[in-house]
Protein backbone atom coordinates (compact mmCIF):
# COMPACT_ATOMS: atom_id res chain seq x y z
CA UNK A 1 0.00 0.00 0.00
CA UNK A 2 2.29 2.71 -1.25
CA UNK A 3 5.90 3.19 -0.30
CA UNK A 4 7.09 3.51 3.27
CA UNK A 5 8.31 6.91 4.39
CA UNK A 6 11.60 6.22 6.15
CA UNK A 7 11.28 9.37 8.26
CA UNK A 8 7.48 9.42 8.56
CA UNK A 9 6.14 11.71 11.32
CA UNK A 10 3.57 9.14 12.56
CA UNK A 11 3.91 8.28 16.25
CA UNK A 12 0.64 6.50 17.11
CA UNK A 13 -1.86 4.32 15.24
CA UNK A 14 -4.92 2.62 16.66
CA UNK A 15 -7.59 0.40 15.07
CA UNK A 16 -10.76 -0.15 17.06
CA UNK A 17 -13.73 -2.44 16.42
CA UNK A 18 -16.94 -1.66 18.31
CA UNK A 19 -19.14 -4.72 18.62
CA UNK A 20 -22.23 -6.15 20.26
CA UNK A 21 -21.79 -6.20 24.06
CA UNK A 22 -20.13 -9.10 25.89
CA UNK A 23 -21.32 -8.64 29.47
CA UNK A 24 -19.30 -11.66 30.67
CA UNK A 25 -16.06 -10.39 29.10
CA UNK A 26 -14.18 -10.45 32.41
CA UNK A 27 -14.65 -14.22 32.61
CA UNK A 28 -12.79 -14.64 29.28
CA UNK A 29 -9.83 -12.43 30.18
CA UNK A 30 -7.62 -15.16 31.65
CA UNK A 31 -7.87 -17.32 28.52
CA UNK A 32 -7.36 -14.30 26.28
CA UNK A 33 -4.30 -13.22 28.26
CA UNK A 34 -2.83 -16.72 27.98
CA UNK A 35 -3.30 -16.69 24.20
CA UNK A 36 -1.93 -13.18 23.71
CA UNK A 37 1.13 -13.65 25.94
CA UNK A 38 2.12 -16.58 23.72
CA UNK A 39 1.85 -14.24 20.74
CA UNK A 40 4.31 -11.80 22.29
CA UNK A 41 2.10 -9.71 24.58
CA UNK A 42 3.07 -10.74 28.15
CA UNK A 43 2.15 -7.43 29.80
CA UNK A 44 -1.28 -7.00 31.38
CA UNK A 45 -2.98 -4.25 33.34
CA UNK A 46 -6.54 -3.34 34.18
CA UNK A 47 -7.53 0.30 33.90
CA UNK A 48 -10.90 1.54 35.07
CA UNK A 49 -12.65 4.71 34.00
CA UNK A 50 -16.05 6.26 34.48
CA UNK A 51 -18.46 6.55 31.58
CA UNK A 52 -22.07 7.64 31.37
CA UNK A 53 -24.84 5.32 30.22
CA UNK A 54 -28.18 6.50 28.91
CA UNK A 55 -31.14 4.87 30.67
CA UNK A 56 -34.86 5.36 30.09
CA UNK A 57 -37.90 4.81 32.28
CA UNK A 58 -39.80 1.71 31.07
CA UNK A 59 -43.18 3.01 32.23
CA UNK A 60 -44.71 6.36 32.98
CA UNK A 61 -43.65 9.63 31.36
CA UNK A 62 -40.57 9.35 29.14
CA UNK A 63 -37.45 10.35 31.02
CA UNK A 64 -33.83 9.85 30.01
CA UNK A 65 -31.04 9.74 32.57
CA UNK A 66 -27.30 9.54 32.26
CA UNK A 67 -26.01 7.13 34.89
CA UNK A 68 -22.27 6.85 35.73
CA UNK A 69 -20.86 3.36 35.18
CA UNK A 70 -17.38 1.94 35.76
CA UNK A 71 -15.76 0.55 32.63
CA UNK A 72 -12.95 -2.02 32.63
CA UNK A 73 -10.12 -1.68 30.11
CA UNK A 74 -8.10 -4.90 29.82
CA UNK A 75 -4.75 -3.99 28.25
CA UNK A 76 -2.34 -6.61 26.91
CA UNK A 77 1.03 -5.18 25.88
CA UNK A 78 4.22 -6.28 24.18
CA UNK A 79 7.42 -6.64 26.21
CA UNK A 80 8.62 -3.15 25.26
CA UNK A 81 5.16 -1.60 25.63
CA UNK A 82 5.13 -0.33 22.05
CA UNK A 83 2.15 -2.45 20.94
CA UNK A 84 -1.00 -3.24 22.88
CA UNK A 85 -4.45 -4.77 22.59
CA UNK A 86 -7.33 -3.34 24.62
CA UNK A 87 -10.50 -5.32 25.31
CA UNK A 88 -13.69 -3.77 26.66
CA UNK A 89 -17.19 -5.19 26.88
CA UNK A 90 -18.16 -3.57 23.58
CA UNK A 91 -14.87 -3.01 21.72
CA UNK A 92 -11.46 -4.43 20.84
CA UNK A 93 -8.50 -2.31 19.77
CA UNK A 94 -4.88 -2.61 18.69
CA UNK A 95 -2.43 0.29 18.95
CA UNK A 96 1.25 0.96 18.37
CA UNK A 97 3.82 3.71 18.83
CA UNK A 98 6.26 1.90 16.53
CA UNK A 99 4.55 2.11 13.16
CA UNK A 100 6.36 0.87 10.06
CA UNK A 101 3.95 0.09 7.23
CA UNK A 102 0.26 -0.66 7.27
CA UNK A 103 0.98 -4.19 6.09
CA UNK A 104 3.07 -4.90 9.21
CA UNK A 105 0.42 -3.21 11.36
CA UNK A 106 -2.22 -5.61 10.00
CA UNK A 107 0.17 -8.56 10.44
CA UNK A 108 0.47 -7.73 14.15
CA UNK A 109 -3.24 -7.04 14.59
CA UNK A 110 -4.63 -10.14 12.87
CA UNK A 111 -3.49 -12.93 15.27
CA UNK A 112 -4.81 -11.04 18.28
CA UNK A 113 -8.10 -10.28 16.56
CA UNK A 114 -8.52 -13.95 15.62
CA UNK A 115 -7.84 -14.99 19.23
CA UNK A 116 -10.38 -12.46 20.51
CA UNK A 117 -13.02 -13.62 18.03
CA UNK A 118 -12.48 -17.27 18.96
CA UNK A 119 -12.31 -16.92 22.75
CA UNK A 120 -14.76 -14.06 23.39
CA UNK A 121 -17.11 -14.64 20.45
CA UNK A 122 -18.59 -11.20 19.70
CA UNK A 123 -21.63 -11.72 17.50
CA UNK A 124 -21.38 -8.64 15.28
CA UNK A 125 -19.64 -5.33 14.79
CA UNK A 126 -21.20 -1.87 14.67
CA UNK A 127 -18.25 0.39 13.87
CA UNK A 128 -14.63 0.15 12.71
CA UNK A 129 -12.22 3.01 13.25
CA UNK A 130 -8.64 3.79 12.27
CA UNK A 131 -6.76 6.74 13.76
CA UNK A 132 -3.32 8.15 12.98
CA UNK A 133 -1.37 10.75 14.97
CA UNK A 134 1.56 12.55 13.29
CA UNK A 135 3.88 15.21 14.69
CA UNK A 136 5.35 17.47 12.01
CA UNK A 137 8.21 19.55 13.40
CA UNK A 138 9.08 22.99 12.03
CA UNK A 139 12.51 23.57 10.56
CA UNK A 140 15.30 25.56 12.16
CA UNK A 141 13.52 28.76 11.11
CA UNK A 142 10.51 27.75 13.24
CA UNK A 143 8.18 27.75 10.25
CA UNK A 144 5.67 25.07 9.25
CA UNK A 145 4.52 26.22 5.77
CA UNK A 146 7.29 24.37 3.95
CA UNK A 147 5.79 21.16 5.37
CA UNK A 148 2.08 21.91 6.01
CA UNK A 149 -0.24 23.68 3.58
CA UNK A 150 -0.91 27.21 4.82
CA UNK A 151 -4.72 26.86 5.01
CA UNK A 152 -4.33 24.53 8.00
CA UNK A 153 -2.15 26.85 10.07
CA UNK A 154 -4.54 29.71 10.91
CA UNK A 155 -3.01 32.77 12.58
CA UNK A 156 0.15 30.83 13.27
CA UNK A 157 1.05 31.45 9.64
CA UNK A 158 -0.12 35.06 9.28
CA UNK A 159 0.58 36.75 12.62
CA UNK A 160 3.77 38.91 12.83
CA UNK A 161 7.03 37.19 13.67
CA UNK A 162 7.26 38.74 17.14
CA UNK A 163 4.08 36.82 18.16
CA UNK A 164 4.19 33.21 19.34
CA UNK A 165 0.93 31.28 18.99
CA UNK A 166 0.14 29.01 21.94
CA UNK A 167 -1.88 26.90 19.56
CA UNK A 168 -4.06 27.00 16.44
CA UNK A 169 -6.72 24.46 15.50
CA UNK A 170 -8.19 23.30 12.20
CA UNK A 171 -10.78 20.54 11.74
CA UNK A 172 -12.62 19.05 8.79
CA UNK A 173 -15.40 16.47 8.85
CA UNK A 174 -15.63 14.61 5.56
CA UNK A 175 -17.45 11.67 3.96
CA UNK A 176 -16.23 9.29 1.27
CA UNK A 177 -18.70 6.68 0.03
CA UNK A 178 -19.92 4.93 3.21
CA UNK A 179 -16.97 6.06 5.34
CA UNK A 180 -16.41 9.22 7.37
CA UNK A 181 -13.24 11.03 8.32
CA UNK A 182 -12.23 13.77 10.73
CA UNK A 183 -8.94 15.51 10.08
CA UNK A 184 -7.59 17.83 12.76
CA UNK A 185 -4.43 19.93 12.72
CA UNK A 186 -3.24 21.49 15.99
CA UNK A 187 -0.11 23.65 15.95
CA UNK A 188 1.74 24.39 19.18
CA UNK A 189 5.05 25.60 20.51
CA UNK A 190 5.53 22.97 23.19
CA UNK A 191 6.18 19.30 23.74
CA UNK A 192 3.95 16.78 21.97
CA UNK A 193 0.63 16.65 23.84
CA UNK A 194 -1.76 13.71 23.51
CA UNK A 195 -5.36 14.47 22.52
CA UNK A 196 -7.49 14.62 25.70
CA UNK A 197 -9.44 11.42 24.95
CA UNK A 198 -6.22 9.41 24.60
CA UNK A 199 -4.21 10.98 27.42
CA UNK A 200 -5.48 8.72 30.26
CA UNK A 201 -4.34 5.60 28.38
CA UNK A 202 -1.39 7.00 26.44
CA UNK A 203 1.75 4.85 26.19
CA UNK A 204 5.26 6.26 26.43
CA UNK A 205 6.25 8.23 23.35
CA UNK A 206 9.19 7.03 21.24
CA UNK A 207 12.33 8.98 22.10
CA UNK A 208 12.45 11.08 18.93
CA UNK A 209 8.92 12.35 19.58
CA UNK A 210 9.30 12.70 23.34
CA UNK A 211 12.22 15.06 22.71
CA UNK A 212 10.20 17.44 20.52
CA UNK A 213 10.08 20.88 22.12
CA UNK A 214 9.11 23.75 19.88
CA UNK A 215 6.83 24.59 16.99
CA UNK A 216 5.12 21.53 15.54
CA UNK A 217 1.81 20.45 14.06
CA UNK A 218 -0.15 17.51 15.43
CA UNK A 219 -2.11 15.78 12.66
CA UNK A 220 -4.98 13.74 14.12
CA UNK A 221 -6.77 11.78 11.39
CA UNK A 222 -9.67 9.53 12.32
CA UNK A 223 -11.50 7.42 9.70
CA UNK A 224 -14.59 5.37 10.58
CA UNK A 225 -17.11 3.01 9.06
CA UNK A 226 -20.44 2.68 10.88
CA UNK A 227 -23.04 0.10 9.91
CA UNK A 228 -26.39 1.55 8.78
CA UNK A 229 -28.63 2.56 11.68
CA UNK A 230 -30.35 -0.38 13.31
CA UNK A 231 -28.13 -2.99 11.66
CA UNK A 232 -24.97 -4.87 12.47
CA UNK A 233 -22.59 -7.08 10.49
CA UNK A 234 -21.15 -10.47 11.52
CA UNK A 235 -17.86 -10.27 13.40
CA UNK A 236 -15.85 -11.68 10.50
CA UNK A 237 -12.10 -11.00 10.78
CA UNK A 238 -11.51 -10.92 7.01
CA UNK A 239 -14.34 -8.41 6.52
CA UNK A 240 -12.96 -6.25 9.33
CA UNK A 241 -9.42 -6.27 7.92
CA UNK A 242 -10.68 -5.42 4.42
CA UNK A 243 -12.55 -2.46 5.87
CA UNK A 244 -9.42 -1.28 7.70
CA UNK A 245 -7.54 -1.31 4.38
CA UNK A 246 -10.27 0.89 2.91
CA UNK A 247 -10.09 3.27 5.87
CA UNK A 248 -6.32 3.49 5.50
CA UNK A 249 -6.75 4.71 1.92
CA UNK A 250 -8.93 7.58 3.18
CA UNK A 251 -6.40 8.44 5.91
CA UNK A 252 -3.63 8.56 3.29
CA UNK A 253 -5.64 10.88 1.05
CA UNK A 254 -6.25 13.29 3.94
CA UNK A 255 -2.60 13.15 5.06
CA UNK A 256 -1.27 13.90 1.57
CA UNK A 257 -3.75 16.77 1.22
CA UNK A 258 -2.49 18.32 4.47
CA UNK A 259 1.27 18.09 3.99
CA UNK A 260 3.25 19.46 1.05
CA UNK A 261 5.01 17.50 -1.71
CA UNK A 262 8.27 18.89 -0.33
CA UNK A 263 7.51 17.32 3.03
CA UNK A 264 6.77 13.91 1.48
CA UNK A 265 10.06 14.06 -0.40
CA UNK A 266 11.96 14.99 2.76
CA UNK A 267 10.45 12.04 4.63
CA UNK A 268 11.32 9.42 2.01
Calculate mean pLDDT across residues 131-158.
88
Calculate mean pLDDT across residues 2-12.
81
In a domain, 77, yes or no: yes
Cβ count near 113 (within 10 Å): 22
Calculate mean pLDDT across residues 160-181.
88
In a domain, 3, yes or no: no
Q: What is the pLDDT of residue 191?
A: 93
2 confidence band (pLDDT: 50, 70, 90): low
Residue 206, pLDDT above cutoff 70: yes
Calculate mean pLDDT across residues 173-199.
95
User: Distance between CA 95 and CA 92 in Å, rounded?
Assistant: 10
User: For the chain, how many structural domains are there in total?
Assistant: 1
In a domain, 49, yes or no: yes
- What are the residues whose beta carbons fall under 8 Å from the beta carbon of 209, sequence distance 6 or more? 11, 135, 192
Q: The dihedral of CA 182, 12, 241, 250: what is its sign?
A: positive
In a domain, 33, yes or no: yes
Residue 94, pLDDT above cutoff 90: yes
Residues pairing with 185 in the sheet: 170, 219
Provide the residue range defining the domain that includes 128: 10-266
Find the angle CA(63)-CA(65)-CA(69) to the nearest 5 degrees.
155
pTM: 0.91
- Please give the share of the chain, as a percent, with pLDDT higher than 90: 75
User: Distance between CA 194 and CA 201 in Å, rounded?
Assistant: 10
In a domain, 245, yes or no: yes
In a domain, 168, yes or no: yes
Q: What is the pLDDT of residue 1?
A: 47
Most confident among 104-108, 162-166, 187-191 (mean pLDDT) = 104-108
Residues pairing with 233 in the sheet: 125
Amino acid sequence: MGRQLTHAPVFYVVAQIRHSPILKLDSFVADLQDRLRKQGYPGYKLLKHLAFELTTTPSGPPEAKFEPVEVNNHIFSSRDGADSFTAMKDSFAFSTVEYGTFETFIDRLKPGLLAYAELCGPDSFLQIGLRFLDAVVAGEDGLLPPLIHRQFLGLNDTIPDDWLADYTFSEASLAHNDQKLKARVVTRSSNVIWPPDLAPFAPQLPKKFAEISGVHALLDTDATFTTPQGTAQPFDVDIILDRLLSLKKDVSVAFKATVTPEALKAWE
